[in-house]
Amino acid sequence: MLKAELVIDHTVAAWKKFMAAGKYKTAPAFVRTEIMESWLRCRQASVDPYNDTLHRKLEAACLQAMLEKNRKLIDIAKPFMVNLYHFVQGSGFVVVLTDPRGYIMEILGDRDALINPMTVNFFQGAGWSETEAGSNAIGTALVLKKPIQVSGSEHYCRKHHCLTCSAAPILDFQGKVLGILNVSGASEAAHLHTLGMVVAATEAIMAQISIRKKNSELRVINKRLTNIFNTMSDGVIMLDGNGAITELNPVAKTILGSSSGKGEIESGMSAEKVLGAGSHFIRRMLQDKEACLDVELTLDATRGLNRCLASGEPVTDEWGTVTGGIVILRPIEKIQNLVNRFSGHYGTLQFSDIIGDSKGILEAIRIASLAAASMSNVLLQGESGTGKEIFAQAIHNRSERRSGPFIAVNCGAIPRELIGSELFGYAEGAFTGAKRGGKPGKFELAAGGTLFLDEIGDMPLEHQVALLRVLQEKKVSRIGCNNVTPVDVRVICATNKFLLEEVDKGTFRKDLYYRLDVISITIPPLRERADDIVALFYYFLEKLDKHGRTFVVQPEVIQQIVRYDWPGNVRELQNVVERIISLTEGQNVRLLNLPADIRSCQSSPRQDSDGAGTPNCSRKQRRQVLEDKEKQDILALLTAHGGNVSLTARAMGIARNTLYRKMKQYGIDN
C-alpha cells in the first residue's frame, strides 16, 4: 500500500474514533491541526456527521438577492473560473464560487459531474459553511481566511469523504472575505497542485478587483476634474508639446468668441495663432519650461476685442520632459470687478440717505432720480460739503450699473503730473518708476460701472483734452502705449466752481463743459435749507452716537444752529454733531457744547426756503470771530515765549514770514 493510502487510512481511523467517543482533544500526528480544530468547531455547532441528505438550498428570492449583491464579483471571477475549468475539464471536477457566507453563486463542471452522487451537493444556492456542511475546504477557508485543501476523511461529514476540495478566499484590500473559489472532485484524484491553481486564480481575481477599484477611483477623479475644468470661471486651454490646442473649456471658448459659430476653435490649432500678439510666452513655456504669470493679451475674437490676462504653466513627465502646457485666461473686466469689490470701489449710499424736505433739496433729488434711469453724463454743482458724492452714489445705485464698480477720483487732490496716469493708466516703461506690467487707469477699473470725477474744475487744461477724447470715443489709451481699449463707463462730475465762469477765464474748455453738462443738478447750500438744519442735526445725533444715548437738546442750542451760516454746509454740521457727542457729559446738550464761533453768532435777517426771515450768523461775523481768536492766540504765545517769533511760529505750526504777516495784519507790535 502506498504511503498516501496509509495516511488516509490513519485519518479514517482517527475520524471514526473522534466521532465514536470524541477521544482526541488535540490532533494526532497524522491529522493536521487545522482539521482537528475544524472537527471540534463542528461538534460544538452540533453538525450531524452522518446526515446523508442534500444540502439546504436558499429560497429563490434570497438566491436572487445574493446574486444581485455579488454581481461585480461574479463578473470579475467568471473568466478566471472558465480558465481554471479548462485544466480540470473531463475529470469530474467542479469549479465553484461562493459568497462570504459559503453559499454557491456560480458553478462550472461537466454534465456528468453536476449529477454525479459525489458532487451532487454542488449546486447554486447550496450552503457549504462549516455549520451547514461540516469541515470542508470552503467552510474552513472562510474561518481561517487562508487557502486549504481538505480530502477524504478529513471532511467532518461522512457523505463528503469521497471528495477532495481545494479552496482559497478572495479578499479585498482591507482583508475582508468577498467570496471563496473552490475546486472539488473525487478524493482519489487529490493533488497539491490543484490548490496551487486555485490560489493563483484567486490572486488574479483580487488583482483584477484592485485594478477595477483603481479604475473606478480614476473615473471619479477624472469626472471631478472634468467638472472643475468645465465649470471654472477662468478660461483653460490645454496644449501639447508643440503648442497645439488639445482641449479648451467653455469659458475659454466664450473668451475667444468661438461660441458665435464663426472661426470655431478646434483641436490641433496653434495656440500662438489663436491668442495672437503677446502670446510669445507659450514658446518660452514649452521650450524653456518657464512659467508665465498675468501676461496682458488683446484677443481679436469674433465678438470683438477681448482683453484678458494669460498665465501659462508647462506640464512635464516623470523625466522632466515638457509634454505640453496649460494656459489660464482671465478677463480683465472680471478681475477689475473683483478688485473693486474688495478695495471698496462700490457705492453704498442711496437717495434715502439724503436728509431734508426743503424745496431745493427735493428738486435736486427729483432730477437726480430721473438722471439715474439714463446713461447721460451728469454734472453736480454745489459748494463744498453739500453732499455731491452722496448724490453721485445714489444715482449709480439706482441705475442699471448698480452691480458694477463706483470709483471716485478727486481731480483737485492728485498732483498735476499724475492726473493722466491716474485716469488713463500707463504701460510698462512709460516713465521712470512705472510699475512692471503697467497699470490700468480709473477708466478701465470703472468698466461696467460709474466714474465719479470730483472737483472737475481743478483739472489742468492739458488733461481736459484727453478726457474729452475718451468721453467722445469711449476708448482709452494708456500713457506710453498705442493700444486702444474700449471702455463702457458712465461719468458723473462734480464741482464747487461755476464752470461757465471758468470757461470765460480760459481755465476750462468750453467743448468739455458742454460734453459734461448734459444733465446739470445744483445742490443748494445748507444756509438755503433752513428747514433741513434741525432734521439733519437730530439725524447725525442719533447716527453718530455709538452708546445709544437719548440726548435732550436745549432750545437755545436749536436756535443757535439755525442762526449759524454753516459755510462748510452739511459736512460742517456733521463734524459739529460729532464733537458734541464726544464732549457732552451725560445726555443734556447745552449751548456750551457748541463750538465758540457758533455760540458767538449774532442775529441778522436771512431768507429761508419759504422766504420768511430768520436769524442768521453771517460769514462776515464768523470771520471776525475767527480773526479775533487768532489775534488773541498770537498775543498769548508771544507772551509765553518772551516775544521770540521763531518759537511762536513753531508752536503755531506756521512759517516765520507768515507770522510776521499776521502780526502786521492784526497790528501787533512786538
429-473 confidence digits (pLDDT tens): 667 666 666 778 888 888 888 999 999 988 888 888 888 998 888
Better-scored residue on pLDDT, 563 or 336:
563
User: What's the rounded Cα separation, in Å, for the pair 607 and 611?
Assistant: 5
Task: Note the pLDDT of residue 254.
Answer: 79
Mean local confidence (pLDDT), 412-427? 82
Contacts 24+ apart (CB under 8 A), 129-133: 129/101, 129/102, 130/38, 130/41, 130/42, 130/45, 130/47, 130/156, 131/42, 131/45, 131/47, 132/55, 132/56, 132/102, 133/47, 133/55, 133/102, 133/157, 133/160
For a pLDDT cut of 70, what percent of the chain falls above it? 88
- Nine cell digits for residue 330: 482671465
Does the pLDDT at position 615 exceed 80? no
Q: Are 119 and 113 in contact (CB under 8 A)?
A: yes
Residue 240 — φ and ψ, nearest 5°?
-90, -175
Reported confidence tier of residue 182, pLDDT bands at 50, 70, 90: very high
CA torsion through residues 629, 631, 637, 640, sign: negative
CA-wise closest residue to 541 among 41, 549, 330, 231: 549
Residue 19 — φ and ψ, nearest 5°?
-70, -30
User: What's the rounded Cα separation, in Å, for the pair 262 and 388?
Assistant: 47
Task: Note the pLDDT of residue 607.
Answer: 46
| 615 DSSP 8-state letter | E
Reported confidence tier of residue 50, pLDDT bands at 50, 70, 90: very high
Task: Note the pLDDT of residue 299.
Answer: 73
Alpha helices of 355-509 — where are they, by DSSP H? 359-372, 388-398, 419-424, 442-445, 461-473, 499-505
Task: Note the pLDDT of residue 618.
Answer: 54
Give 526-617's CATH code, choosing from 3.40.50.2300, 1.10.8.60, 3.40.630.30, 3.30.2320.30: 1.10.8.60
Task: Give the contacts of 338 (CB within 8 A, at least 6 positions apart).
Answer: none
Count of beta carbons in the 10 Å neighbourhood of residue 543: 13
3-state secondary structure 261-312: CCCCCCCCCEHHHHHCCCCCHHHHHHHHCCCEEEEEEEEEECCEEEEEEEEE
Q: How far is CA 503 from the centre of its chain?
A: 50
Task: Note the pLDDT of residue 626.
Answer: 65
Count of beta carbons in the 10 Å neighbourhood of residue 15: 23
Does the pLDDT at position 150 exceed 50? yes
CA-wise closest residue to 128 among 82, 206, 119, 187: 119
User: What's the rounded Cα separation, in Å, for the pair 181 and 365?
Assistant: 87
- Nine cell digits for residue 531: 428747514
Mean local confidence (pLDDT), 272-288? 81
Mean local confidence (pLDDT), 126-133? 94
Does the pLDDT at position 649 exceed 90? no
Task: Note the pLDDT of residue 73.
Answer: 95
CA-wise closest residue to 264 among 252, 279, 272: 252
Task: Note the pLDDT of residue 6.
Answer: 44
Q: Are 492 and 396 in contact (CB under 8 A)?
A: yes
Does the pLDDT at position 7 exceed 90? no
First to last CA, the chain: 144
User: What's the rounded Cα separation, in Å, for the pair 544 and 238?
Assistant: 56
Does the pLDDT at position 391 exceed 80? yes
3-213 and 233-339: same fold?
Answer: yes
Task: Note the pLDDT of residue 495.
Answer: 92
Q: How far is CA 233 from the centre of its chain?
A: 10
Alpha helices of 329-459 — where are they, by DSSP H? 332-342, 359-372, 388-398, 419-424, 442-445
Q: Are 211 and 203 in contact (CB under 8 A)?
A: no
Count of beta carbons in the 10 Å neighbourhood of residue 205: 24
Q: Are 272 and 279 in contact (CB under 8 A)?
A: yes
CATH 1.10.10 fits 622-665, yes or no: yes
Mean local confidence (pLDDT), 578-601? 85
Does the pLDDT at position 606 exceed 70? no
- Nine cell digits for residue 66: 445574493
CA-wise closest residue to 365 among 147, 562, 524: 524
Does the pLDDT at position 155 exceed 50? yes
Residue 97, CA distances (Å) to 76, 135, 259 in order? 11, 18, 55
Q: How far is CA 650 from the centre of its chain?
A: 54
User: Which run of H or of E encompasses 425?
Assistant: strand 425-426
Mean local confidence (pLDDT), 83-94? 89
- Nine cell digits for residue 272: 500662438
Tell me, which fold does domain 344-376+385-491 have in CATH? Answer: Rossmann fold (3.40.50)
User: What's the rounded Cα separation, in Å, for the pair 414 and 121?
Assistant: 98
pLDDT digits (tens, 9 = 90+) for 346-378: 678 899 889 888 888 999 999 999 999 988 899
User: What's the rounded Cα separation, in Å, for the pair 351 and 354?
Assistant: 5
- 466 by Cβ neighbours in 10 Å (0-12 / 13-18 / 19+) ranks as middle
Better-scored residue on pLDDT, 180 or 290:
180
Residue 558, CA distances (Å) to 104, 413, 543 in order? 99, 35, 18
Mean pLDDT for the chain overall: 84
Does the pLDDT at position 562 exceed 80? yes
Q: Are 63 and 104 in contact (CB under 8 A)?
A: no
Reported confidence tier of residue 31, pLDDT bands at 50, 70, 90: confident
Task: Note the pLDDT of residue 113.
Answer: 65
User: What's the rounded Cα separation, in Å, for the pair 196 and 227?
Assistant: 46
Task: Note the pLDDT of residue 610.
Answer: 46
Sequence spans of domains, the chain: 3-213, 233-339, 344-376+385-491, 526-617, 622-665
Name which of 188-197, 263-272, 491-500 the model is least confident about: 263-272
Task: Note the pLDDT of residue 64.
Answer: 95
Reported confidence tier of residue 546, pLDDT bands at 50, 70, 90: confident
Does the pLDDT at position 4 exceed 60? no
Q: Indicate the pairing of strand 450-454 with strand 490-495.
A: parallel
> What ranges make up the beta strands (E) of 104-176?
104-109, 148-151, 163-171
Tell me, which fold does domain 233-339 have in CATH? Answer: Beta-Lactamase (3.30.450)
Exposure string over 221-253, b if 16+ CB within 10 A, otherwise e = eeeeeeeebeeeebbbbbbbeebbbeebbebbb
Does the pLDDT at position 380 exceed 90? yes
For residue 260, give the amino acid letter: S
Residue 103 — φ and ψ, nearest 5°?
-85, 135
Name which of 66-75, 223-232, 293-302 the model is least confident about: 293-302
pLDDT digits (tens, 9 = 90+) for 235-260: 888 988 888 888 888 888 877 775 43
Task: Note the pLDDT of residue 611.
Answer: 46
> Domain 3-213: what homologous superfamily?
GAF domain (3.30.450.40)
Q: Are 336 and 447 in contact (CB under 8 A)?
A: yes
CA torsion through residues 464, 465, 467, 468, sign: positive
Q: Residue written as cell 518657464?
A: 290
Does the pLDDT at position 76 exceed 90? yes
